[in-house]
Amino acid sequence: MVVAYRARRMSRVPSPSGEQPIRRFVPVSLASFDERVLEMSLYIRYEGGPSLPTLYRDAGLPFTEDDRVRLVEQGVKFLYIEAHHHAAFRRQMNERLTRTFRDESLAAAERARIIRDSCAKMIEDVMVLPGESAPVVAVAEIGRTFVSWAHENEHAFGYLLDMSRHDFYTTTHMVNVGVGCGLLARELFPGDDDLFAVAVQGGLLHDLGKRGIPVEILNKEGRLTDIEWAQVRRHPQAGYDELSKNASIPQAVLAMVRDHHERPDGKGYPHGLSGSGVTPIARLCAVVDTFDAITAARPYRGATHPLETLRMLRDGQGAHFDADILNVWSSLVERLVKHDPSRADPGSNPAPPAPLALRSWRPPCDAPADDRGGTLWGHDKRQFARHLVQMTAKGEFIHQGKTYDVGIGERFNVLVVDFGRGGCQIVTPTPLARDDLMTVVFTPPGQPEIRRTARVVRVRKGRDGGWSAGLCFVADHTAKVA
């Protein structure tokens, strides 16, 4: 069994006895590799094997997609490179992303998707490798790369901001906030490239402290308990505490991480700062963070149109948000939507017809929530009610993120436990993979068969040993394999 390995912090100096220098390795996410001839050797660690990783593939040999898939199937998440090669590895990644950014054979939206996915993998490295400096440095470098891209092609760079077509997965959200903070900083402080790069870095790292919060709390639809709310309120300080140990992190980034939930009226958290006590760059982050949290699709509701989200944010200007910063952000979003209205089209979430009215279904279980439950100033961010059900349905895979006992197009049974206009939650005996694409076939008693195309956006283990998956309904014309 292959297991992940946290690299030891070791210097490369000879020991007093004259032995060979201790070699230091750093983990690199398996998702970071594409097909290439290796410019550096890759190492792997096996359970019960040597204390240091052993050679997996030498420099100069090819690394293929088949290799990556085999390692994934064995449960491998990381390979390792020697620490002195990490700068070269980061350079290769940035060069690859820059080639993608400039590849005019791809549509701007497709280029942006590839880049966002790669950035999400960088953030996942930071999230799963606490205390490792190399992934944090990679995030800082992508901020500087974004600056050069914005100068090179402002229009293409603007497409990196995803509006209404993405799900609220922590790393996806952090990428979007990073891009948005960069765009907004550029509008507010034109010509200040250093601040642009810092704003991107802070946005990409702003939710680092959520690492320790259970996914059940992060995805909870209703009101949080006092204990759950206390956990959520700690995440800005937790992220700050971790990053402040890294001397290379700018103070402005630390302020964004710690203060992005503070409010002008002093009713925010974690410290209840108010007015000028909240730095402009943290106020900037607060606007973009909340905007993305509302526009993103959730397993229990569809995406919110960006212009509708702006209307909701304006209800909180002056108290929740800096009014001037919000006005600039609103103008920026409106300009992007006007230039390409398709970017604001959720393109998904058709309303299921008659089944929601079945008498056998229970009424909506969502009670009115206060701000702890995620509502904003009296507006419910959940566009659609959720209904508790117990219904057997059939699933058919369109795209599989891993190997299953059933193939694409073969039907299998699932238990539907809740259902809404934007999606549903199902229970399966084995875990599905995030981004699996499937057709779910419902057969309500006495009614015609209903088919919905859905993407898996959340997976978690149930208390009874089974697995639940949150599905977001998508329109057929958007159900293309990424």
Given a contact cutoff of 8 angstroms between Cβ atoms, the answer to whether 337 and 343 are in contact is: yes
Given a contact cutoff of 8 angstroms between Cβ atoms, the answer to whether 175 and 204 are in contact is: yes
Edge-to-edge strands of the sheet including 25-29?
A: 25-29, 78-82, 42-44, 54-57
Handedness of CA 93, 27, 19, 16 (dihedral sign): positive
Q: At residue 140, what are phi and psi to the nearest 5 degrees?
A: -60, -40
Q: CA 358, CA 340: separation in Å to the nearest integer?
A: 40
Reported confidence tier of residue 475, pLDDT bands at 50, 70, 90:
low
What DSSP state is assigned to residue 341?
Answer: G
Q: What is the pLDDT of residue 457?
A: 83
Q: Considering only CA atoms, which of 124, 172, 141, 142 is closest in space to residue 28? A: 124
Q: CA 209, CA 261: separation in Å to the nearest integer?
A: 12
Q: CA 161, CA 268: separation in Å to the nearest integer?
A: 26
Q: Following CA atoms 48, 136, 328, 173 in sequence, which dihedral angle do they give, to the nearest 10 degrees? A: 0
For the segment 257-269, the average pLDDT, to the nearest whole number, is: 95
Reported confidence tier of residue 349, pLDDT bands at 50, 70, 90:
very low
| Per-residue pLDDT at 466 exceeds 50 | yes
Q: Considering only CA atoms, which of 121, 144, 145, 163 is closest in space to residue 31? A: 121
Q: What is the pLDDT of residue 70?
A: 85
| Per-residue pLDDT at 198 exceeds 90 | yes
Given a contact cutoff of 8 angstroms between Cβ atoms, the answer to whether 471 and 299 are in contact is: yes
Reported confidence tier of residue 345, pLDDT bands at 50, 70, 90:
low
Q: What is the pLDDT of residue 264?
A: 94
| Per-residue pLDDT at 9 exceeds 60 | no
**Whether pTM exceeds 0.85:** no
Per-residue DSSP letters for 343-404? GG---B-PPP-GGGG-TTSPPB------GGGT-BTTB-S--S-EEEEEEEEEEEEEE-SS--
How far, in whole angstroms, is CA 479 from its chain's centroid? Answer: 19
Q: Walk me through the domains of the chain, giving residue ranges and CATH numbers.
A: 1-85 (no CATH), 103-344 (1.10.3210.10), 354-375+384-478 (2.40.10.220)
Higher pLDDT among residues 257 and 473, named by residue: 257
For the segment 221-242, the average pLDDT, to the nearest whole number, is: 89
Q: CA 414, CA 394: separation in Å to the nearest integer?
A: 6
Higher pLDDT among residues 352 and 313, named by residue: 313
**Bridge partners, 2 (sequence order):** 46
Q: What is the pLDDT of residue 340?
A: 86
Q: Six-digit token pair at 259?
A: 């203060």
| Per-residue pLDDT at 370 exceeds 60 | no
Q: Considering only CA atoms, which of 32, 26, 149 is closest in space to residue 83? A: 26
For the segment 437-452, the average pLDDT, to the nearest whole number, is: 79
| Per-residue pLDDT at 62 exceeds 60 | yes
Per-residue pLDDT of 376-402, as tens digits, reads 333 333 455 567 777 788 889 988 878
Q: Six-digit token pair at 477?
A: 């014309």
Reported confidence tier of residue 196, pLDDT bands at 50, 70, 90:
very high
Q: What is the pLDDT of residue 151?
A: 93
Q: CA 459, CA 435: separation in Å to the nearest integer?
A: 10
Q: What is the pLDDT of residue 207?
A: 92
Given a contact cutoff of 8 angstroms between Cβ atoms, the answer to whether 142 and 100 are in contact is: no
Residue 231 exposed, middle or buried by CB count within 10 Å (0-12, 13-18, 19+): middle
Q: Six-digit token pair at 81?
A: 């490179």
Q: Considering only CA atoms, which of 137, 132, 123 is closest in space to residue 7? A: 132
Reported confidence tier of residue 332, pLDDT bands at 50, 70, 90:
very high
Per-residue DSSP letters for 395-430? EEEEE-SS--SS-TT-EEEEEEEEEESSEEEEEESS
At which residue do the structure tokens 């390692």 appear?
71
Question: If residue 440 lies in a helix (H) or strand (E), which one and from where to where?
Answer: strand 437-442
Q: Considering only CA atoms, which of 444, 333, 442, 465 is closest in space to residue 395? A: 442
Question: Residue 421 half-sphere exposure, CB side, CA atoms within 13 Å?
Answer: 13
Given a contact cutoff of 8 angstroms between Cβ atoms, the answer to whether 35 and 65 are in contact is: yes
Per-residue pLDDT of 271-311, as tens digits, reads 999 988 999 999 999 999 999 988 876 555 566 788 888 98
Higher pLDDT among residues 74 and 330, named by residue: 330
